[in-house]
Amino acid sequence: MKLNTIVRIAAGAFLVAAALGAGLLARSPWIIVPLGLVFTVAMILGRSAGWARALKTRSTARIAAEALASFTVQLALVSMFYLMGRGVAALFGREGASFESWDWMYVAVVAAVGIGLGAVAVRRENGADHYPTFAENDATTTESENNTVRAEIRILPDRVTHQTLFAGIHYTHGRTEAGVYDGTPNEKSAGSDEKIAAAEARLGVTLPEGLRALYRVQNGGAVKDICAPKPGIAEPRLYDHIIHPFAGYEDLYPLEMLRTVFDSTTDFADPDDPDQADRFPEGCKQLVILAQWYRVTLFLDYTEGNPPTVGFVDFDIDDWRGAVVRWDDFDAFVASLRRYKPV
């Protein structure tokens, strides 16, 4: 296991332990709020590449809304671990304490250690001061046309295959015991024809054979350092020359999580509200999501029948059809994938 992976795991385990510890020490529930903020900062740092791309393509209001949503999720996560610890403390008769200056010191130490470890891991992974950017509206940007990102990359020679794509199981398939995450392959992460058939029946589509072969290897999961050259870039050398089709979360959805762009959009918009109709892309009921970070989406496009084409775009872009990067079929998409390393 790489050192930066170990550091990431250590940072996550430390933060979880800190939330549990606050409960075990029977500290005031108010400590959940600053700890939630620490968790949020750590999460954003861990997905810094995706957030960097979002900062270039979205409005301040949109970024603020996404940050608030992330904070809400992390607050719920901290609350869960805090209550677990608080329950154990109650069993031993420990009485609750008021929120004091000691709690601020506790949070400061947690932030320094947890975020510090995360920063070390991210720094090692990126190997440069600049993070990847995402410029859908300029798919053929070249070095002479764009001086915003100087971080260089090296495309690795080995082709990405069905057997080498995954770097780990999907996070939803992992188990957490005593606050420690276990990412060992298991029944949930295992691929099978039965799971494929169930997903196809639920969605009412036939998945491309290349994708079905991939899901036989594993039921979705994490990918790492995977890119595709932008159209017109034969030899990518900079971050600006590539796209990251598996988006900010760097994973392929498991079969049970596959859904359409329409279903995804109903998470925040009402299809029956005329004022929100423009939030639903044309043909969205026939676009099946393979990976998504907010609305940056890798999808199968069945609007012209089966087999589908493969597309990648940020659906928050008004003219998303003009910005989409598209492959003729899933096999062509896989053939375009490359692994890269910062130089």
Q: Is the peptide bond before 308 cis (omega within 30 degrees of 0)?
A: no
Q: Among residues 2, 225, 10, 248, which one has the least CA distance to residue 116? A: 10
pLDDT tens-place string over residues 239-284: 889 999 998 889 999 999 999 999 999 998 999 999 899 899 999 9
Partners of 314 in beta bridges: 296
pTM for the full predicted model: 0.60
Contact 115, 44 (CB under 8 A): no
Cα–Cα distance for residue pair 125/224, rounded to 1 Å? 10
Contact 75, 2 (CB under 8 A): no
- What pLDDT does 127 receive? 47
Distances in whole angstroms, Cα of residue 223 to Cα of each of 84, 174, 246: 32, 15, 8
Query: Within the chain, which residues score under 50 in pLDDT?
Result: 1, 127-149
pLDDT tens-place string over residues 10-59: 888 899 999 999 999 999 999 999 999 999 998 888 777 666 656 655 56
| Top-tier CATH class for 136-342 | alpha beta
Distances in whole angstroms, Cα of residue 4 to Cα of each of 1, 87, 177, 242, 338: 9, 34, 22, 23, 21
Q: What percentage of the chain carries pLDDT values higher than 70?
A: 86
83: tokens are: 């209550």
Which residues belong to CATH 3.40.1580.10 in the chain? 136-342
